[in-house]
Amino acid sequence: MREFAKVSLGIYPTPLYRLSGVSAKLGTNVWIKRDDLCGVALGGNKVRKLEYLLADAKAKGYELVMTTGQAQSNHAMLTAACALKLGMKPVLVLKKRGVCARRGNQVLNYLMGVDVRFVDTDSYDDIYRAMDRIADELGMPAYKIPCGGSNALGSVGYVDCMREIAESGVAFDAAVCACGSGGTAAGVALGAALHMPGTRVIAAMVDTDPFDVIVPEIMRESARLLDVRTELPTPEFINLCGPGYSIPSEEGNEAIRLMLQSEGIVLDACYTGKAFAGLVRLAREGRFKPTDNVLFIHTGGAGGLFAQDWEKENM
Ligand X SMILES: *Cc1c(COP(=O)(O)O)cnc(C)c1O
Please identify, among the stretches 119-127, 174-182, 224-232, 236-244, the one whose residues bind ligand X according to the rule CB under 6 A. Answer: 174-182
| Residue 248 contacts ligand X per CB under 6 A | no
Q: Minimum distance from CB of 154 to ligand X (Å)? A: 8
| Residue 150 contacts ligand X per CB under 6 A | yes
Catalytic sites, residue numbers: 73
Q: Tell me the C-alpha to C-alpha distance, in Å, between residue 198 and each of 57, 110, 189.
A: 35, 44, 11
d(C-alpha 242, C-alpha 265), whole Å: 22
Q: Minimum distance from CB of 252 to ligand X (Å)? A: 12
Q: Which residues between 284 and 303 bind ligand X (CB under 6 A)? A: 299-301
| Residue 180 contacts ligand X per CB under 6 A | yes
Looking at the Cβ atoms of 44 and 226, the one nearer to ligand X is 44
Residue 7's nearest CA partner among 66, 52, 47, 64 is 52
Residue 158's nearest CA partner among 35, 275, 40, 36 is 35
Q: Minimum distance from CB of 241 to ligand X (Å)? A: 12
Q: What are phi and psi of 143, to 5 degrees?
A: -85, 115
Binding mask 130-149 for ligand X (x = CB under 6 A): ------------------x-
**155 and 49 in contact (C-beta within 8 Å)?**
yes
| Residue 191 contacts ligand X per CB under 6 A | no
H/E segment holding residue 236:
strand 236-239
| Residue 271 contacts ligand X per CB under 6 A | yes
Looking at the Cβ atoms of 135 and 203, the one nearer to ligand X is 203
| Residue 272 contacts ligand X per CB under 6 A | yes
d(C-alpha 98, C-alpha 39), whole Å: 26
